[in-house]
Amino acid sequence: MQSVATPKPLPARTVRLTRTHQGIELYFPPLRAPAAALALALFGAACLVPGVFAAAAMAPASGSDSAGMVALWLMGIFILPFVAFGVVFITVAAYLLGNSLRVEVTESGIASVRSVFGLPLARRRVARADIAALEAVAPLRYRGLSREEPYYSLVVKTRSGTGLTMREAWRTRRLGQYRNRAVTVAESLRGEALVERVKSEIITAGRLAHLAAQQPHEAC
């Protein structure tokens, strides 16, 4: 009798799968992409620290005379943008470190909750009949020592929200549909093999067999 190979467990640092009576629950914990967050934080610090020191050095020279006006002009044109970019990149790095995603897949549809440092930030729900596609995209790439390694996300495209512009959604009061036109149901998946396995779990739990024939991924 031929034995059936047991599939390898999913990487717990990236995704944790729990089977329920209704379907499955996928949990993507914080700290799942530390390399990308560290790269952003270092770039932000490289912009922020010199900008702060430069602003502190030029601040005493600012005043009402012509030299002070030139100092203020230089700060506004050259220094403050570096400080702003540094703050933005460090904020994004903190978001990457602290955000988590919980996705519940059942026969009735898909529901997700995005949290940042444990606080719910956004909730999405898509009915099974409204799911038009399940696509893999590569929004994040981390260049390692030997090669560039893509990190994929799985995104659900809806029938009601596809092709709907913000103006049309506002005019017809369908902002909820516009917001749900593309819902992330998995992210930080390293490699195509892990993408296909998580996608298969979602298709099986949600009874979405008609989506299995779609293209495996599209790179961005």
Nearest to 190 by CA among 10, 4, 8, 51: 10
What CATH architecture is 16-29+101-211? Roll (2.30)
Cα 204 to chain centroid distance, Å, stands at: 24
With pLDDT > 70 as the criterion, what percentage of the chain qualifies?
73
Give the pLDDT score at 143.
47
Classified as helix, coil or strand, 28 is strand
Domain parsing of the chain, residue ranges: 16-29+101-211, 39-95
What's the CA gap between 30 and 101, in Å, rounded? 8
pLDDT at 115 over 60: yes
**CB atoms < 10 A from the CB of 20, how many?**
11
8 Å CB contact between 136 and 195: yes
Compute the CA torsion angle 36, 42, 45, 46 (nearest 10 deg): -130
Q: Please give the single-letter amino acid code of residue 72.
A: L
pLDDT, one tens digit per residue, over 28-74 is 999 988 888 898 999 999 988 887 777 676 666 555 556 555 656 66
pTM as predicted: 0.78
Work out the average pLDDT over 151-179: 76
pLDDT grade, residue 148 (50/70/90)?
Answer: low
Give the pLDDT score at 54.
73
What long-range pairs does 13-20 form, CB within 8 A, spacing at least 24? 14/188, 14/189, 14/190, 14/194, 15/186, 15/188, 15/189, 15/198, 17/201, 20/104, 20/106
